[in-house]
Amino acid sequence: MRFNPDIRNKNTTGKYSGWLFLFLLFIVLEVIAQVCPSTVLTSPLDGSTNVAVDADISWNQVPNVPGYIISLGTTPGGTDILDQRFVGSATTYNPPLGLPENTLIYVTITLFDFQNGNLEIPCASESFTTAPITQIPACAQLSIPSDGQIDVNPATNLSWNYVPGAIGYRLTLGSSSGAGDLLPTTDLGNTLTYNPLVEFPPNSVVYVNIIAYNLIGDAVSCSEFSFSTSAIAALPGCTSLISPADGANNVPITPILEWTPVPGATGYRITVGNSPFTAEVLDNVAFPPVTQTGILELEANRTFFITIVPFNAAGEAIGCQQESFTTLQGCGPFFDPMTGDLITLNPEINFPATISSCENEFPLIYTSPDTADGYRWYSINSNGNETLISDTADVTFSGPGDYRYEAYNLIPQSGNLECPSSQVFSVVSSEAPVISSIDVTEQATGIRIVVNASGGGDYEYAIDNINGPYQGSNIFSGIPYGTHTLYVRDRNGCGIAEEQIVQDLTLEGFPKFFTPNGDGINDYWQYIPPEFAGDITLVSIEIYNRYGRLLVQIDPNSRGWDGTINGKSLPASDYWFRARSSTNNEMTGHFSLAR
């Protein structure tokens, strides 16, 4: 909750309203003046020049203020360098990436009281000017893992120390000294960490080169670092709250905490407190590998701070962030000790995540399927801002987009308290598919068919039956040769496209050679249909010599050619064939006669 100087009594009009506004504004400014010290900064002092780019920023401690927020910018109250960083009860902040050189920097300290409704009181900005950088940076030092460290988890991230005056770092990783096979020299910009895309090789030595640089030049004569990895034992990553979402308001006082599952985690340690620094509700309690747990009877109308740290045999996740939520007053769910049930006053909603319509059906009129005292519908733009479009059970969607639906009950306590249930959803537009092309390739077990469809719908695919089964993939493999019909269907019922293909001849089945020597083995050359031949029917096979002269035409149903013409044996050589199917498709190839 921030102090808001735009305070007006909506039940008072005219000059009295104006005087009330000025009076309340005067009171708010007086409170700020009394709480904030006349001079906030203690180092660097307001107006200082030639301040080192790696300087710490310190300020006066304010009595009875449990927390501070610091912002840094190039204008009074600006946040373009650092945007409202909460630092707890500390009164010193060290910018981890340093400060920009030769720059007038404004510091805004905001007093944060989470014990009284998250009250925020920004103090007046003060400023100082940093010194220019006049020399190349020093060498960076690897901090995680440390140089020479052994048994390092292959899933480790890398960190190094900040180098005063550096504006960026180039990183090279190799499996031998000076090599870059694990990561060629890469400019990472002004960051102090690197998260590899893949794990390091287990039981191996990794060599690290970090070069700090600025506009004057690169650090020189820097040492190479190395560490040795252990066998694979990946640390789990961090998780985040699904419900309640981080920063959520009006959270039930008996919520179900739910978080995203983390692959490889064997459990989670959860801390919940009334402030960022305490653990009154849960104190680092270990939970098995579940992704939700209930908490009974939290205090209403209060902010709670939660940290969830996944762990496994390799250790705990690193760098997991604290999140928070604020409980509501009056809606529940409440724990009934008599029945053991959770009672909630919010309406139950049964609303889809997606509403589909064909492209020619807009504007689309939709009615809420839920029973509640009131309804609201919001459109959500690309920046995440919401606009109310209806406050009844009915809504008209002018076109596709993202929306939020809210149904609420009115509870007669503390006035008419609204207890809402909400659902973010999408309205999508579909159109009938168009088959743009069909690609067919031969495989060892038949043919592979790829159906390429265009259009603005959500499509699924079937072969040889308009009723399916349909699949999400547009690829069909191991299909027999023959005639096939491909179907593309819009999942939202906006149409079906179909196209027939004929793929009925292949070199499979035509022998590469034969040996007509009377031993009963390979004495005849004839087409032998493969198992995946489908409905192929050959009507003729013609055999030619190497000069293109027709020698003989054989019946595909006969036992084949014995290598003779008019009873005379032909010499060992290469011969050609041309086969024709009942659909008038042709296939040519060659084979060898061996004696």
pLDDT, one tens digit per residue, over 425-474 is 999 888 889 999 999 887 777 789 999 999 888 899 999 999 989 999 99
Of the pLDDT bands very low, low, confident and very high (cuts 50, 70, 90), residue 32 is very low
Sketch out the chain's domains with CATH numbers.
36-130 (2.60.40.10), 142-228 (2.60.40.10), 241-343 (2.60.40.10), 354-417 (no CATH), 434-503 (2.60.40), 513-593 (2.60.40)
With b for 16 or more beta-carbon neighbours within 10 A and e for fewer, the 274-299 pattern comes to bbbeebebbeeeeeeeebebebeebe
More confident residue, 552 or 87: 552
Q: For position 368, what pLDDT does the model report?
A: 94
Residues 280-316: tens digit of each pLDDT: 889 999 998 888 887 766 776 678 899 999 988 777 8
Distance CA 353, CA 77 (A): 40
Query: What secondary structure does DSSP assign to 298-321, as a single string?
Result: PPSS-EEEEEEEEEETTEE-SSPP
Residues 77-128: tens digit of each pLDDT: 999 999 988 887 788 998 989 999 999 999 999 887 654 445 678 899 999 9
Least confident range of 207-211, 234-238, 245-249, 528-532 = 528-532
Q: For position 506, what pLDDT does the model report?
A: 63
Distance CA 414, CA 421 (A): 19
- Across the range 372-399, mean pLDDT stands at 94
Position 179 pLDDT exceeds 90: yes
Residues 308-364: tens digit of each pLDDT: 999 887 778 888 999 998 876 667 666 554 565 667 788 999 989 988 888 778 888
The whole-chain average pLDDT of the chain stands at: 85
Q: Give Cβ neighbours of residue 184 (< 8 Å, ≥ 6 apart).
A: 172
The DSSP bridge partners found for residue 229 are 152
Distance CA 164, CA 97 (A): 9
Residues 532-543: tens digit of each pLDDT: 666 667 889 999
More confident residue, 36 or 102: 102
Position 7 pLDDT exceeds 60: no
Residue that has been written with the tokens 């050959």 in this structure: 538
Question: What SS3 class is residue 22?
Answer: helix
Yes or no: say if 372 and 292 are a contact pair by the CB < 8 Å rule: no
Backbone angles phi, psi at 186, to 5 degrees: -130, 130
Q: For position 5, what pLDDT does the model report?
A: 34
Residues 514-523: tens digit of each pLDDT: 999 988 899 9
Residues 468-515: tens digit of each pLDDT: 899 999 999 988 877 889 999 998 888 999 998 877 666 677 899 999
Q: What is the share, in percent, of the chain residues with pLDDT greater than 90?
A: 52
Distance CA 431, CA 426 (A): 16
Residues 198-234: tens digit of each pLDDT: 889 999 999 999 999 999 999 999 999 999 998 876 6
